[in-house]
């Protein structure tokens, strides 16, 4: 047996070899469509008898070969070159005593909202434009700190599969565009956001939390970003599949999770268990969470747990359930000794 793992190109060639042309079929009458093809042929049974068989075929809803091509296109990324130092800032100009964090609450790329139904117009293009414009504005407002964090708090993608159904409950999702297209747009958008941060900060740490809408897509997103910035020592991508990420900045310990698997009141103890040494050496401890789409801060003994708004609109289900949270994105500035000292925010109406 061979240990060779087939490449995407090899899989495509195998798929081509197994693909046979469909029998010729006349056009359907006006008002009808062809649901399938039936072919009559002779067959010989094991006892030698000849029989007539009707072989019925039906075209798949998704062409496997087309899906493979789309998937290859979505992840066909090569390592990017090292970015030059931001214009206007030298190494002496960056503030090493502060760190800027850009938390993104549940972007839900690929979600569709119909304004007549929900009061909001939202689709893949609007999601991309809003996230890009909000990041531009926040980078402009942020101080030129040496270090920055781009924090995707989960549910970056609205759907995790072409069927547009949730993994756990199988609920149908309101989606815009093809799944492969959403992946393609989402990967390149996140790369662009990292480059935006690099115009203001020397180093960028990237954290991608897995959400309940995009468990598997988040894994792909980490791998793609890791490959793209493999040659740039100033972009550090956390590729860990863990549901809980941590970042230590002097006297600050920052935890990152989507928030769909653990209750907020359990997170401080989880941080103390996972990062006992860092917990004991820091004074300011924070959890950054998404999932609920609204802004909240709860202070526990030794740790604050915060949830963030999203720029995404309400889909039909959330509108019907009465959710009406604000839509905005923020950036926070942490001092190495004094904890969080500054916040800038941008509402969706400003975009």
How far apart, in Å, are the Cα atoms of 88 and each of 85, 93, 144, 199, 200? 9, 9, 10, 9, 9
pLDDT value of residue 123? 96
Q: Check: CB of residue 278 under 8 Å from CB of residue 270.
A: no
Question: Among 35-39, 128-132, 211-215, 276-280, which stretch is predicted with the lowest mean pLDDT?
Answer: 35-39
Mean pLDDT for the chain?
86
Tokens of 189: 């958008």
Q: Check: CB of residue 334 under 8 Å from CB of residue 314.
A: no
How far apart, in Å, are the Cα atoms of 306 and each of 123, 258, 337? 27, 11, 20
Q: Return all residues near 273 (Cβ < 8 A) that are at least 6 apart.
A: none
Q: For 94-227, where are the E strands, in sequence order?
A: 95-104, 145-152, 203-208
Model confidence pLDDT, tens digit, residues 93-137: 789 999 999 999 999 999 999 999 999 999 999 999 999 999 999
More confident residue, 203 or 86: 203
**In the chain, what are the domains?**
98-350 (3.60.21.10)
Q: What's the first-to-final CA gap in the chain, in angstroms?
A: 57
The reported pTM is: 0.77
Model confidence pLDDT, tens digit, residues 136-191: 999 999 999 999 999 999 999 999 999 988 877 778 899 998 999 999 999 999 99
Residue 88 pLDDT level (bands cut at 50, 70, 90): very low
Model confidence pLDDT, tens digit, residues 16-67: 665 555 555 555 555 555 556 666 666 666 666 776 766 666 555 555 566 5
pLDDT surpasses 50 at 91: no
Tokens of 16: 């081509």
pLDDT value of residue 322? 80
Q: What are the b/e assignments for 35-59, b being 16+ CB within 10 Å? A: eeeeeeeeeeeeeeeeeeeeeeeee
pLDDT value of residue 177? 84
pLDDT value of residue 170? 79
Residue 3 pLDDT level (bands cut at 50, 70, 90): low
pLDDT value of residue 51? 66
User: What does the CA dihedral 239, 230, 186, 342 come to, rounded to 10 degrees?
Assistant: 70
pLDDT surpasses 70 at 222: yes
């Amino acid at each position: 047996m061979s240990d060779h793992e087939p490449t995407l190109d090899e899989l495509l060639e195998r798929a081509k070899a197994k693909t046979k042309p469909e029998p010729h079929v006349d056009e359907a009458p006006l008002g009808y469509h062809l649901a399938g093809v039936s072919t009559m042929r002779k067959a010989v049974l094991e006892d030698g008898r000849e029989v007539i068989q009707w072989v019925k075929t039906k075209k798949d809803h998704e062409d496997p070969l087309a899906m493979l091509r789309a998937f290859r296109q979505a992840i066909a990324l090569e390592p990017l070159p090292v970015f030059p130092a931001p214009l206007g800032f030298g190494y002496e100009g960056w503030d090493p005593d502060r760190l800027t964090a850009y938390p993104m609450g549940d972007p839900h790329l690929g979600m569709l909202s119909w304004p007549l139904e929900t009061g909001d117009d939202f689709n893949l293009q609007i999601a991309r434009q809003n996230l890009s414009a909000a990041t531009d504005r926040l980078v402009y407002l942020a101080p030129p700190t040496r270090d920055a964090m781009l924090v995707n708090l989960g549910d970056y993608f609205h759907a995790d599969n072409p069927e547009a159904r949730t993994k756990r409950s199988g609920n149908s999702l309101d989606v815009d565009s093809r799944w492969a297209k959403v992946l393609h747009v989402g990967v390149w958008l996140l790369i662009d956001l990292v480059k935006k941060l690099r115009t203001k900060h020397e180093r960028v740490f990237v954290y991608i939390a897995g959400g309940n809408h995009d468990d598997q897509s988040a894994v792909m997103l980490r791998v793609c970003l890791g490959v793209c910035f493999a040659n740039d020592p100033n972009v550090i991508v956390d590729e860990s599949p863990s549901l809980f990420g941590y970042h230590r900045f002097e006297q600050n310990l920052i935890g990152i999770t989507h928030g769909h698997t653990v209750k907020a009141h359990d997170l401080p103890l989880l941080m103390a268990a996972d990062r006992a040494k860092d917990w004991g050496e820091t004074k300011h401890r924070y959890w950054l969470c998404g999932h609920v789409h609204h802004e909240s801060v709860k202070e526990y003994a030794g740790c604050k747990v915060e949830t963030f708004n999203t720029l995404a609109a309400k889909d039909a289900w959330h509108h019907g359930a009465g959710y009406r949270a604000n839509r905005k994105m923020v950036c926070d500035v942490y001092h190495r000794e004094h904890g969080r000292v500054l916040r800038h925010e941008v509402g969706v109406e400003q975009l």
